[in-house]
């Protein structure tokens, strides 16, 4: 089911009024109100990102690989950044939760990257470590 970006932008605008680290263009919108062009651009960008991410995750699932890590950029919002470094399984297997929908908020551009055996070995991680440190997605957490 497609996401209603207008409704999500409204919901996130209200949510960001209570968060310290607010990404643009939400910070400006909270101070000055939404510019219709900026709002439409954010919705279009979020939809394009969601579509591209869904295609990538479909490719991973088709290849049989479901173990991923949530990576955030330093400028991601305070809501999204709490999941940075957390491991997920695309099918919720191996004791790991399913990943959050991307993007979580319309402004951030975090990624889900494959956790390969080579990466895990080089980082000294095993599946138990990932399960112990994973942060299940909670849409209501602020």
- Predicted local distance difference test score (pLDDT) of residue 140: 79
Give the span between the Cα atoms of 5 and 12, in whole angstroms: 10
Domain range enclosing 62? 5-133
- Predicted local distance difference test score (pLDDT) of residue 1: 73
33, part of any domain:
yes
Three-state secondary structure along the chain? CCCCHHHHHHHHHHHHCCCCCCCCCHHHHHHHCCCHHHHHHHHHHHHHHHHHHHHHHHHHHHHCCCEEEEECCCCCCCCHHHHCCCEEECCCCCCCCCCCCCCCCCCCCCEEEECCHHHHHHCCCCHHHHHHHCCCCCCCCC
Which residue, 69, 34, 49, 60, is CA-closest to 3?
49
Number of domains comprising the chain: 1
Quick: pLDDT tens for 47-106.
999 999 999 999 999 999 899 999 998 888 888 988 999 999 999 888 999 999 999 999
74, part of any domain:
yes
9, part of any domain:
yes
Give the span between the Cα atoms of 108 and 77, in whole angstroms: 7
Quick: pLDDT tens for 6-63.
999 999 999 999 988 899 999 999 999 999 999 999 999 999 999 999 999 999 999 9
141, part of any domain:
no
Give the span between the Cα atoms of 69 and 87, in whole angstroms: 4
- Predicted local distance difference test score (pLDDT) of residue 142: 55
Average the pLDDT over 112-124 and give the result. Answer: 90
142, part of any domain:
no
Q: How would residue 139 be classed by pLDDT, with cut points 50, 70 and 90?
A: confident
Give the span between the Cα atoms of 91 and 33, in whole angstroms: 39
Q: Is the pTM of this model over 0.75?
A: yes
139, part of any domain:
no
58, part of any domain:
yes
């Amino acid at each position: 089911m497609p996401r209603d970006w207008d409704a999500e932008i409204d919901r996130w605008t209200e949510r960001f009024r209570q968060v310290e680290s607010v990404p643009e263009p939400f910070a400006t919108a909270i101070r000055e109100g939404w510019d219709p062009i900026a709002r439409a651009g954010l919705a279009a960008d979020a939809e394009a990102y969601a579509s591209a991410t869904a295609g990538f995750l479909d490719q991973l699932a088709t290849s049989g690989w479901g173990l991923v890590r949530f990576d955030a950029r330093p400028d991601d919002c305070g809501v999204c950044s709490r999941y940075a470094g957390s491991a997920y399984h695309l099918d919720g297997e191996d004791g790991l939760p399913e990943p959050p929908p991307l993007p979580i908020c319309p402004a951030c551009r975090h990624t889900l990257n494959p956790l390969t055996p080579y990466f895990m070995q080089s980082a000294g991680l095993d599946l138990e470590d990932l399960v112990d440190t994973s942060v299940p997605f909670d849409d209501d957490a602020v």
